[in-house]
Amino acid sequence: MGSFLTRLLADRGASVRAMARHLDRGALPAGVEPFAGNLDDPSAVQTALDGVSRVFLLTGGPQGPQRDQTLAQAAAQAGVEHLVKLSVLGITEGADDLITRWHRAGEQAITDPGPAGHAYPLTGPEAITPRQQAAVLADLIGHPIDFVDITPDQARDQMV
């Protein structure tokens, strides 16, 4: 998702700074400013956000909530106007699986009073399955996307 968004914004002429722990400069589109940094390092995050007005946040895993909080605090200090976090469905519907709990804690870190904000669920005109979501994305990017349905235990094993 991050690579796709970076390419899309760069193609549209937006000023883009991409932060990642390991950046392959050759993989970034022309004009994208690379920033090697880690969301576990508050000073690196603060430096990365210097002069930035909009942030797209893509985290996951057990460290996700702390990383989200680090970025949210740095964004508030830097005067970032818009912070968008890619999350999961089910946050407000009471889902209690491991991935939802990680994202719920991350969303709370972003929307709590420190960095005052709001969560807006983004959906389309109809509810669609994950398999249908993959088909829509494949159509949008012009490349096939394989959808593999796995059990919650298989998902957990792949992430832990």
Domains in the chain with CATH codes: 37-122 (3.40.50.720), 123-160 (no CATH)
Cα(146)–Cα(53) distance, integer angstroms: 35
**Tokens 């096939």 sit on residue:** 144
Give pTM, 2 decimals: 0.69
pLDDT for 122 equals: 58
- Report the run of H or E that residue 132 belongs to, with start and end: helix 130-141
As averages over each run of 10 residues, the pLDDT of the chain (160 residues) reads 86 90 78 90 95 90 90 92 83 78 85 60 71 86 87 79
> Which candidate, 41, 94, 100, places its Cα nearest to that of 66?
41
Amino acid (one-letter) located at 14 = A
pLDDT for 61 equals: 85
Burial of 110 (0-12, 13-18, 19+ CB in 10 A): buried
